[in-house]
Amino acid sequence: MKDLEVVSEGGDFASNLNRASLEVLAACQLEPSLAAAPIGARFQFERLGYFCVDPDSRPGALVFNRTVTLRDTWAKIEKKLG
């Protein structure tokens, strides 16, 4: 694991981040009750992982950050059988 604080001269921690880690999904459908979710609230989205409400969220434009992914046990089983 790489220490994000160790950077080259003149750089910052952002240069160590995985550029492919940002994935923006638009036009997603959510449970209507999530519209009233407070900043920082955490939820499990079925079969995807755990997410928290981002401070950039606003009415009609919710932003969720994935904090933990879920293991896909069934995919591993299918791969072994396939």
d(CA 13, CA 19): 12
Confidence at residue 78, expressed as pLDDT on a 0 to 100 scale: 82
Confidence at residue 31, expressed as pLDDT on a 0 to 100 scale: 92
d(CA 53, CA 71): 22
Question: Is the model's pTM score more than 0.85?
Answer: no
Fold assignment, 23-81: Ribosomal Protein L25; Chain P (2.40.240)
Domain spans, the chain? 23-81
**Cβ neighbours of residue 15 under 8 Å, at least 6 residues apart?**
7, 8
Residue the block writes with tokens 């910052």: 12
pLDDT tier, 60 (very low <50, low <70, confident <90, very high otherwise): confident
| Digit-coded pLDDT (tens) for 5-51 | 777 777 777 777 778 888 888 888 899 999 999 999 999 998 889 99
